[in-house]
Amino acid sequence: MIMRYSAAVVALLLAFVVFGPLLINHDPLAADPANQLKPPALSHILGTDLLGRDVLSRYLHGGRHTLLSAFGATVFALGAGTCLGIAAGTGMGIAVSLLKAVLTGLLALPGVVIALVVLAALGRGVIPLSLAIGLSQTAPTAVVIQAAVLTIRAQLYVEAAYALGASNNYILFAHILPNILPTLAAYGSAVFGYALLNGAALTFLGVGAAPGTPDWGVMLAEGRAVFRSAPWISIAPGLTITVIVWAVNNLADSLNRQFRPDSITVRKTRTAPASYRA
């Protein structure tokens, strides 16, 4: 039920964000300085910002840019990070040591430096932003995956599979990959959250979205500057980000349970694993 609930929330939000702009008749870019910083009212359901623009329409338009960047960054980080993590966890000898050392080296680079350099080289836009954030999250993902892989490889059933003569490839696809999915899902949702927040931070520094683009990160930054006069500007994007991350986390939880049909929570071990909570 939780899963259906959170999936519904995510779907609703996505629909709202994708189709919502069609319902609103305010131009998100139209400034009306005389009406600045007005609290929520019938004419402007979420109020107006410093330049008198309608907050609701900026919020609806903003979702696309923000979510796309965060999604791209997550895909990149998970993809590259998983490959590196598996390689580091399953390899042997010098190559693995080298890889581990390279990973540690990449980890040591502060994300700020990586992101700024990538964005300076590639300019603004959804793809450069995804790349920049994704790159800075790759090494951490790789290390987490590597730890998970090591734990799985140490399990009895993997040893048994080896003993039965299974090839490395088989073990990789039949045992390792399915078993790191829970960790992947859990960490992936965290990465999505970081990507969402880091995108806003980079916009703050002036390298993310162009000023004036409707974007949740931009709105959070603007809202923070006028927090005392107009707290409502930050609320919509902030709350949405919170809800999305929460919903994604719950989905991940439920997926976790789906992949382990005999999964029962620690406390309920005494009862027979009849019906699992869905």
Which residues between 14 and 53 bind another protein (CB under 8 A)? 29-31, 33-34, 36-37, 50-52
Residue labelled with tokens 């299974």: 166
Q: At 47, is the secondary structure helix, strand, or coil?
A: coil
Residue 74: CB minimum distance to another protein, A: 13
Residues between 67 and 96 that touch another protein (CB under 8 A): none
CB 88 within 8 A of CB 100: yes
CB 249 within 8 A of CB 224: no
60 or 220: CB nearest another protein:
220
Identified binder of another protein from the candidate list 87, 131, 133, 144, rule CB under 8 A: 144
What are the CA-CA distances from residue 223 to residues 1, 26, 28, 90, 181 (Å)?
A: 35, 19, 16, 47, 37
Alpha helices in 109-231 (DSSP H): 111-122, 126-153, 156-163, 168-171, 177-205, 216-225
Does residue 175 touch another protein according to CB under 8 A?
no
Residue 137: CB minimum distance to another protein, A: 9
Instruction: Determine the Cα–Cα distance for residues 199 and 69; give it in Å rounded to an integer.
Output: 8
Residues between 215 and 274 that touch another protein (CB under 8 A): 220, 224-230, 234, 238, 241-242, 244-246, 249, 253, 256, 260, 262-269
Residue 140: CB minimum distance to another protein, A: 5
Region near another protein per CB under 8 A, out of 71-79, 115-123, 126-134, 168-176: 115-123
**How would you write 54-68 as a 3-class SS string?**
EHHHHHHHHHHHHHH
22 or 267: CB nearest another protein:
267
26 or 100: CB nearest another protein:
100
Identified binder of another protein from the candidate list 11, 41, 174, 210, rule CB under 8 A: 210
Does residue 120 touch another protein according to CB under 8 A?
yes
What phi and psi, each to the nearest 5 degrees, are found at residue 210? -65, 150
What are the residues facing 54 on neighbouring strands?
48
What are the CA-CA distances from residue 142 to residues 101, 161, 253, 263 (Å)?
A: 12, 25, 21, 26
Identified binder of another protein from the candidate list 70, 88, 114, 236, rule CB under 8 A: 114
Residue 128: CB minimum distance to another protein, A: 13
Q: For the purposes of burial, counting CB atoms within 10 Å of the CB of 82, is it exposed (0-12), middle (13-18) or buried (19 or more)?
A: buried
Residue 13: CB minimum distance to another protein, A: 13
126 or 143: CB nearest another protein:
143
Identified binder of another protein from the candidate list 143, 176, 219, 233, rule CB under 8 A: 143
Residue 172: CB minimum distance to another protein, A: 18
CB atoms within 10 A of CB 214: 22
79 or 206: CB nearest another protein:
206
Residue labelled with tokens 């719950």: 250
Does residue 167 touch another protein according to CB under 8 A?
no
Identified binder of another protein from the candidate list 86, 195, 200, 233, rule CB under 8 A: 200
Token couple for 91? 């390899």
